[in-house]
Amino acid sequence: MRPSAEERNRRMLRARDAMDRTFAEPLCVPRLARIAEVSEAHFIRTFRATFGETPHRYLQRRRVERAMFLLRSTGRSVTDVCFDVGFKQPGDLQPDVPGRHGRVADRLPGAGVPAGGPDLLPDGVGAPEQFWRSAPVGATLEWA
């Protein structure tokens, strides 16, 4: 018997919540598929259909969001933050940041930016994926 769409969505939400709780750990699709009670291949397809991105892309985005928060609100180094959010090396964050936030990681302010400091996204832009779709190629954001 096939689960209803509501039950399928609940299972995907449980798996996504597990990803959020363990975002600094390596992605384990078999574990997430077990949580969602589906096969690994079906989990990846269903996750993408439900949330609009693959589990790997979702996890990378969450790591970048957490890293950006830590870089803005603490005086910690890019290297320390990268390891804390689950990247294996600082270079894993750097290629991602300009495309999503308009700045390279080693130029991001760490110390001296108040916790409520400047946002990385302009007003009216919510999730990073909205920015990626709407920004012209090569566009950068400037700090206020």
- Co-location of 91 and 111 in the same domain: yes
- Co-location of 35 and 77 in the same domain: no
> Residue 50's pLDDT is what?
92
> Residue 89's pLDDT is what?
81
Share the mean pLDDT of the chain: 74
Instruction: Tell me the whole-structure pTM to 2 decimals.
Output: 0.62
- Co-location of 70 and 130 in the same domain: yes
Predicted confidence (pLDDT) per residue in 15-60, tens digit: 999 999 998 898 999 999 999 999 999 999 999 999 999 999 999 9
Exposure string of 36-65, with b = 16+ CB inside 10 Å and e = fewer, is bebeeeebbebbeebbeeebeebbbbbbbb
Number of domains in the chain: 2
Residue 142 domain-assigned (yes or no):
no
- Co-location of 26 and 64 in the same domain: no
> Residue 92's pLDDT is what?
76
3-class DSSP state for residue 114? Answer: coil
- Co-location of 73 and 124 in the same domain: yes
> Residue 5's pLDDT is what?
86
Q: Which domain holds residue 45?
A: 5-52
**Average pLDDT score over residue span 90-109:** 55
